[in-house]
Structure 1
Amino acid sequence: MNEDIQNFLNALDGIGYIVEGGGRILAVGQPQWQDFLEKTGFAASPTKNVIGHNLFDFITGAEVRSSYQRLHESVWHGQGQKLSFQYRCDGPSVKREMRMSMSHLSLDGIGGAVLYQSQLLSEVARPPLNLLDPDLILGVMANERNFPIVALCSYCQKVAWPLSEHREDAREWITPEDYYARGGHSDVRVSHGICPSCVGMLEMA
């Protein structure tokens, strides 16, 4: 990726990255990437570790991965020159409202590509919620333990609360705060999915 494009990504508000049609990451805004990883508590990873890799390999949960692929392909094919949606990227002690924008790009020698721009809209402190610990979100703390599975919406961070022992689809999506208020605990494995409200939001994006 040439220097002008790298300088453009480095100057964007938030994290910017360019992805080709098949999902390969071509370039990433350098300083914002490191700053955000440090702020959110995820292990710092040099951008060279993601450039050249497929974006969708980093997305956990088949349903979530499929939703990103659908949006990506829509923008890449030019069916929507740009789309955006809000999502959450909470930490144990902080609520974060984010906006993801995806825009079609035409690059010499590559053809169509998609510019992703993830921006922080607000950040509010709250009492710690261990369910949103990065290690738990990534499965590090429960890989070899027979903990129950809890479904977490990857877009709004709501938790699926079962309403029936006999029907897996009988569940209510509640906030992490309500999850603990109802007796939920942190000895779980997190399954990444999408709640019905966010399914509807993405269909309109």
Structure 2
Amino acid sequence: MPYEYKINEKDRLVEVNDSWLKFARENWDPAFEPEKIIGQVLWEFIRDETTRHFYQTIVEKLRVGERDEYHIPFRCDSPDKIREMEMIIKKVKGGGISFSSFLKKEKKRNIKGPYQYALHNEPAIRMCSWCKKIFNDETEEWVDLDQAIREMHYFEGGRLPHVTHGICDSCRERLKKSVSPE
């Protein structure tokens, strides 16, 4: 069953399904209630400007009829799992948009790390919102999380680093192509 949410013609969240709610409770907040987000504008929950812009572009193209739907592959990892997913975004009646995410592949992660977070004045690491690669400032390359942990020694200080999200060059190009007219 997909994890699904819908927005209305004004980009306000109007519905989440039971699968989405269960996922939210298991991964973010066991006491989460949909009333916390229903009625709010979707874009308020997407902090990264580039990511927000891509989704807004997709929504605009769907509303004007340029495409029927978009299929977006992405990662949705947790501390103990690696999840490969696909989101299908399509127009629904009344100018609304549905976002349905499907789990394609899941595997356990064998990372056991510290439980204390970095101090606020410590630098954050950049992570791609789609593929979860980490930007290595020294080599100026995007690398897989496992490689980043080995090479960049983030966990050796006994604290989890702060993470800021963005988009890597490969995902940016793939998304540009996916929103371009065919």
| TM-score, normalisation: structure 1 | 0.77
SS in 2 for 1:101: strand
Equivalent residue number for residue 118 of structure 1: 101
SS in 2 for 1:69: helix
For residues 150 and 68 of structure 2, what CA distance do their matches in structure 1 show?
A: 43
Letter in 1 for 2:109: R
Letter in 2 for 1:148: P
1:32 aligns with 2:19: yes
CA shift for structure 1 position 122: 1.2
Equivalent residue number for residue 151 of structure 1: 126
Letter in 1 for 2:163: V
**Structure 1 segment 10-49 matched on structure 2, within 5 A:** 13-29=1-17, 31-39=18-26, 41-44=27-30, 45-49=32-36
**Structure 1 segment 48-197 matched on structure 2, within 5 A:** 48-106=35-93, 111-128=94-111, 130=113, 141-142=117-118, 145-163=120-138, 171-186=140-155, 187-197=160-170
Equivalent residue number for residue 7 of structure 1: none
- List per-residue Cα deviations over 1:140-162 (Å, max 9, x = no partner): x45x6211121100000000001
> What do you get for the CA RMSD once the two structures are aligned?
2.1
CA shift for structure 1 position 185: 0.6
CA shift for structure 1 position 196: 0.7
CA shift for structure 1 position 188: 2.4
For residues 99 and 19 of structure 1, what CA distance do their matches in structure 2 show?
A: 18
Q: Is the 8 A contact 1:159 1:179 kept in 2?
A: yes
For residues 55 and 21 of structure 2, what CA distance do their matches in structure 1 show?
A: 23
Q: Is the 8 A contact 2:3 2:20 kept in 1?
A: yes
CA shift for structure 1 position 189: 2.0
- The answer for unaligned runs of 5 or more in structure 2 is none
What is the number of residues matched between the two proteins? 173
SS in 2 for 1:96: strand
Counterparts in 2 of 1:158 and 1:26: CA distance versus 1, 3 Å: same
CA shift for structure 1 position 204: 2.3
For residues 153 and 51 of structure 2, what CA distance do their matches in structure 1 show?
A: 24
Alignment identity in percent?
Answer: 27
SS in 2 for 1:117: strand
Q: Is the 8 A contact 2:6 2:97 kept in 1?
A: yes
Letter in 2 for 1:123: E
